Amino acid sequence: LSYTVEYYKDGVKVEADTQTETAKVWVNAADTLTVDASKINTTNKYNGYMIEYTDPSTIPDTIADGGVIRVYYTKDEIGGFDPENPDFDTGDQIPDKYQVVVRYVAGENGSLEGETFAVYDLRNEDVLLTEIILHFPNPKANSGYQFGKWIYPENVTVMEDVMTGFTAGNVYTFTAVFEGVYYPPANTPTLNKEDHTAYIIGYEDGTVRPGNNITRAEVATIFFRLLTDESRAEYWCQTNAYSDVNSTDWFNNAVSTLGNAGIITGYPDGTFRPNAPITRAEFSAIAARFSDVVYNGNSSFTDVAANHWAARYITLAEYLGWVTGYPDGSFHPDQAITRAEAITLINRVLERETRAEEMLADMVTWSDSLPTAWYYEAVQEATNSHTYSRTDEQVSGQSFNYEQWHALLENPDWAALEKSWSTANSN
């Protein structure tokens, strides 16, 4: 005589695990067998599963010849919570098909206060719930940051803390995003926006090389020269803590003064890397530090994460209309900025913008900056000193109007000027 034990996972028979138990009986004996319960696994046969029920509902002591005992396992991988390992999901002896788990996690630069793990039993009489009420913990931002938003899991809808569209047996994670807030320093150095002097000097071969990179030392020197005389005198400095900027370097005064003003910073290893190409993020940070605007908004750029070190500067520069991204919505923060891009940004910071018809015919031009180039007007503005007046037309996306040139001026002798500044501020 024999009986069979069958095992099922989520309703599907596991053929390989089917057991057939036999026994010898005397002729004319009853056609029943004694069931050996110790050979039937009703505990942990399958990892990540729990026994849901058996058929018969209890394991019998005896069974008829040819009888079948069915053991049904169902998935149980979620619902359990281990405080020592909060990121690891375990079962809780409730079938996953009847529950949903919600987790709340904090992104970088913040934490959460309150319960961060919730299990929802969806059973409601003969139906399963189709909506659950979320209980968000309180986001706590680190210094210099603020809570921005919750990032919801995909394929669910949340309205007024009620979540729908979920599927039983899943874990849904909500992530709190913390954004940098730019608070300008108490005293911000001032740039000279009144005098439209040339701050870019072209090359002897008649080019300006708009597609080339620009170094960190060159950028520091440009902004140093564009300071008002009062700000330059206030923050004048000829010493710095950078291991790769020496007192005899041509850019020492610029780096030291802007470092003293809090406009430029170095790297954790104590270097400034003056000859390294400056990135779009680094350039945006320098420009943003000249602003006295407090801004808490979000960046629209797809590749400027809230935890990027320069996110708050890029976001401010975007809000002020100083920087723009690429057609695909990206900003490429860690890409080296080109000379043309840098000139365009500086002009916007200085509120300097003109159009070809408002320039002068005898201005200096460059063989590699033609009128058809997107940067042509910006390069001309940066390489020709001139007098001007404002037109009645406002520049799109800016707070200032276009300018009309009136007369060209002699470009500054920056080397001579720096010597005079050094003499005046060293006495």
Q: Tell me, what's the pLDDT at 380?
A: 98
pTM: 0.63
Q: Are strands 90-91 and 68-75 parallel, antiparallel or unpaired?
A: unpaired
Number of neighbours of residue 154 by Cβ within 10 angstroms: 7
Secondary structure in 3-state letters for the chain: CEEEEEEEECCEECHHHCEEEECCCCCCCCCEEECCHHHCCCCCCCCCEEEEEEECCCCCCEEECCCEEEEEEEECCCEECCCCCCCCCEECCCCHHHEEEEEEEECCCEEEECCCEEEEECEECCEECCEEECCCCEEEECCCEEEEEEECCCCCEEECCEEECCCCCCEEEEEEEEEECECCCCCCCCECCCCECCCCCCCCCCCCCCCCECEHHHHHHHHHHHECHHHHHHHCCCCCCCCCCCCCCCCHHHHHHHHHCCCCCCCCCCCCCCCCECEHHHHHHHHHCCCCCCECCCCCCCCCCCCCCCHHHHHHHHHCCCCCCCCCCCCCCCCECEHHHHHHHHHHHCCCCCCHHHCCCCCCCECCECCCCCCHHHHHHHHCCEEEEEEEEECCCCCCEEEEEEEECCCCCHHHHHHHHHHHHHC
Q: Give the pLDDT score at 295.
A: 80
Please identify every stretch of the chain with a pLDDT value under 50, giving residue numbers as ranges: none
**pLDDT for the residue 293:** 87
Which pLDDT value is given to residue 425?
83
Give the pLDDT confidence score for residue 231 in this predicted structure: 95
Structure token digits, residue 374: 């997107």
